[in-house]
Amino acid sequence: MHTRRSKPPTIPQDINIDVLEDTLSFYIRTINIAVSRDLDERLEGLDVAKGTGKITTLLLVDDYPGIRPSVIAHLIMRDRSAMGRLIDQMEDHGLIRREISPEDSRAQELYITEAGTALAVKIREIVPKQSRDFFSFIPEDEQRLVTDILRRAYRRIVGLHE
């Protein structure tokens, strides 16, 4: 049986979470848990569930053939060792493949496979829809507002132009 999210009968409605009430990082961290769980459910069985990196990797490799692992690692905020394991997994699943760069034999280039392309098609449908659905109780204009601000935050954090 799965005991999680078994809401106790009485959650005091007037509860106040102290200084966290006004703390953006608290909401980011907490909502992250809920939205990630929901996304995992929607991706069940799709070789790309769990963790934040696989979806981004798949789409980037599809869009930028030959992209380097270290570039993706930077964009998904992982180190090279975590990135390597992630690529191992995706290679095992036949979604992408590595080649050694002809220009610099230390470096690798990543390419998508047919299976990867097919999965990317599904992903492009599921992922944005999951986000819209999950946050559907937020009015659309507010959703867009938050997204715009957080996009800029993200780009700032990883050092992309805004």
Nearer to DNA, 2 or 161 (CB): 2
Smallest distance, a second copy to C-beta of residue 89, A? 18
Contact 70, 80 (CB under 8 A): yes
Strand segments, DSSP code E, in 22-139 are 96-100, 108-112
Query: Is residue 5 close enough to count as binding a second copy by CB under 8 A?
Result: yes
Query: Is residue 12 close enough to count as binding DNA by CB under 7 A?
Result: no
Residues between 17 and 56 with contacts to DNA, criterion CB under 7 A: 33, 37, 40, 50-52
Nearer to DNA, 8 or 12 (CB): 8
Partner whose footprint covers residue 135, from a second copy, DNA, none (CB < 5 to 8 Å by kind): a second copy
Q: What is the phi/psi pair of residue 7, to 5°?
A: -55, 125
Contact 81, 69 (CB under 8 A): no
Angstrom distance (rounded) from CA 120 to CA 114: 10
State the binding string over 80-119 for DNA (x if CB under 7 A, else -): xxxxxx-xxx--------x-----xxxxx-----------
Distances (CA, A) of 134 to 31, 55, 128, 131, 147: 11, 18, 10, 5, 14
State the binding string over 22-61 for a second copy (x if CB under 8 A, else -): xxxxxxxxxxxxxxxx-x------------x--xx--xx-
Smallest distance, DNA to C-beta of residue 140, A? 28
Chain center to CA of 155? 15
Nearer to a second copy, 102 or 159 (CB): 159
